[in-house]
Amino acid sequence: MSTLVAVRGRPAILTDLFRPVLFSFSFGCFVFAAAGLIVFAGTEGLFFLRLSYWLAEAGLVTGLVAALIGVAEWSFALGEADARDGLWHSGRDVLVLTLFAAAWTSLGGFHGAPATIGRDITLAMFTEFMAIALLVSFEVSFAVEGRPRMKGGLT
């Protein structure tokens, strides 16, 4: 969900502000959602389970908006060499959002934040940590280092 180097020079309001901010907010929410689950697992405090649910939801909503902006930016780069990198990038983002959507659903989803502590959080923890591992290992460093690392690693 990071800003593509490919879209440098595109509408600045999108590349310089909205998407990186949305991505950062989304990523931060996801990390603290996972942290909330860890604290819940250690303390069984319902508060942390509910906070984790809301953080996952906030991360999902902003992540989806960031993804939509990213698709719009990617469409500008169609036909350029960077568009292929963007495809990989969007594929990983879809995977990350899907994993967090699964975690959010297992925590309560559209039924609302969990009201009891008797919930099995194994699936939520597993999917959230998988997603964060994906984000940390690829997306964030790619935001700064750009194409060379992508080419060496994935294409």
Partner 1 sequence: MSIFGHPLHPMLVPLPIGAFVFGVIALLLFTVSGDPFWLQGSYWLAIAGVVTASAAAVAGFMDWLGIPGDSRNRNIGAWHLALNLTLVGLFFVSWLILGGFGGATGANATFALVLQVVGALMLGVSGWLGGEMVFGKPEEDQKPTEQPKQEQQSGQPAT
Distance of closest approach, residue 141 Cβ to partner 1, in angstroms: 4
Dist CA 5 CA 8 (whole Å): 6
Distance of closest approach, residue 71 Cβ to partner 1, in angstroms: 19
Considering Cα of 49, then 110, then 121, then 132, what sign does the dihedral take? negative
Number of residues that this document lists for the chain: 155
Contact 67, 97 (CB under 8 A): yes
Dist CA 10 CA 104 (whole Å): 34
Which residues of the shown chain bind partner 1 in the complex (CB under 8 A)?
A: 3, 8, 15-17, 20-21, 23-32, 35, 47, 50-51, 54-55, 58-59, 136, 140-141, 143-145
Angle at 53 between CA 62 and CA 118, to 5 degrees: 165
Closer residue to partner 1, CB minimum distance, 115 or 122? 115
Closer residue to partner 1, CB minimum distance, 17 or 81? 17
Distance of closest approach, residue 32 Cβ to partner 1, in angstroms: 6
Closer residue to partner 1, CB minimum distance, 11 or 122? 11
Distance of closest approach, residue 155 Cβ to partner 1, in angstroms: 18
Closer residue to partner 1, CB minimum distance, 130 or 143? 143
First-to-last alpha carbon distance for the chain, in angstroms, is 18
Distance of closest approach, residue 119 Cβ to partner 1, in angstroms: 17
Contact 2, 110 (CB under 8 A): no
Residue 15 has phi, psi (to 5 degrees) of: -75, -35
Closer residue to partner 1, CB minimum distance, 62 or 106? 62
